[in-house]
Structure 1
Amino acid sequence: MAETPATTTSNSSTGPGRTVIEDGVIAKVAGIAAREVPGVHALGGGAARAIGAIRNAIGNDDRSQGVKVEVGERQVAADITIVAEYPAPLQKVAEDVRSAVADAIQHIAGMEVAEINVTVQDVHIPEDDSRESDPRVV
């Protein structure tokens, strides 16, 4: 998706002017909202999560990981890639992500949401974490 800054025109009490909201800000707002949804384990596909793990290790967290946005003057379209928790109902998690992201963009950025596409890339099974940490030999 194209990276263009969002521009909204405002006539505030201080007079006319422009407010520019960069794409990265919208992506970060969307990422934060999506991560707060119950049933979402992580955002992004395998490669994005691997790069995110490296970023986290050096203390540079990317809140927009797994989020792509296209921003117009007044509208936003977003593609969100998630890893869902097992056994959360995937359709409900995707719908909750869509709703949370739309609400956050409308409330925080004051922009209209054209569409939000959610891709469930993987399902996280909690037992897999415990198996990885168990030693194979004693």
Structure 2
Amino acid sequence: MAFSSPSAVTLPSERLGGIAGKTFISESIIAKVAGIAARDVAGVYTLGGGLARALNALRETINGPDTSQGIDVDVEEANVIVNVTLVAEYPTPLQQTAADVREAVVRAVEDLIGMTVTEVNVSIADIHEPDDTAVKPRV
């Protein structure tokens, strides 16, 4: 029975309680952890861009949310590069949002998975404006 796949990462484990072994982590799990971290950053409206968001909206109605949407990971040994595509909230400062996303992704992947994040690239695909169809107060 094989435990690894082309999209899995093998990490050596430390000997705990006298038992040694390897840990296999799917790249999709790394993307999911990064996606959850990025999505929770203030100023991030949603992950993904254009067509991906439209397809995800349809997918969410059927299967529930895809927390790895807008996340692409490139793994080499125990190092990972994470690419994040997102839609920012207006009027959030974009450079600060990107910096906060980088910090959150690094912290989550390194703490939860135990891999070294060498790069987090953030692409801001769109800006979400507040709903201007809401009733505005009279002046």
Q: Which runs of 4+ in 1 moved over 6 A?
A: none
| Match among 8, 13, 28 for residue 11 of structure 2 | 8
Measured after TM superposition, the shift of residue 96 of structure 1 is 0.2
Structure 1 residue matching 2:80: 3-state secondary structure: strand
Structure 1: runs of 5 or more not aligned: 132-138
- Contact 1:41 1:124 (C-alpha < 8 Å) held by counterparts: yes
> Deviation string for 1:62-90 (max 9, x for gaps)?
11000000122211111000100000000
Percent identity over the alignment is 48
State the number of aligned residues: 128
- Structure (1/2) with the larger helix percentage: 1
Measured after TM superposition, the shift of residue 4 of structure 1 is 2.9
- Which residue pairs with 1:136 in the alignment? none
Structure 2: runs of 5 or more not aligned: 1-5, 135-139
- Which residue pairs with 2:60 in the alignment? 56
- Contact 1:82 1:121 (C-alpha < 8 Å) held by counterparts: yes
Question: Is it true that 1:65 corresponds to 2:38 in the alignment?
Answer: no
Question: Is it true that 1:116 corresponds to 2:120 in the alignment?
Answer: yes
Give runs of aligned pairs for residues 3-42 of structure 1, distance below 5 A: 4-13=7-16, 14-42=18-46
Q: Which amino acid aligns with 1:42?
A: T
| Distance (whole Å) between structure 2 residues aligned to residue 80 and residue 116 of structure 1 | 7
Measured after TM superposition, the shift of residue 58 of structure 1 is 1.5
Aligned-residue RMSD, C-alpha: 1.3
| Distance (whole Å) between structure 2 residues aligned to residue 45 and residue 64 of structure 1 | 13
In the superposition, the TM-score normalised over structure 1's length comes to 0.87
| Distance (whole Å) between structure 2 residues aligned to residue 97 and residue 59 of structure 1 | 26
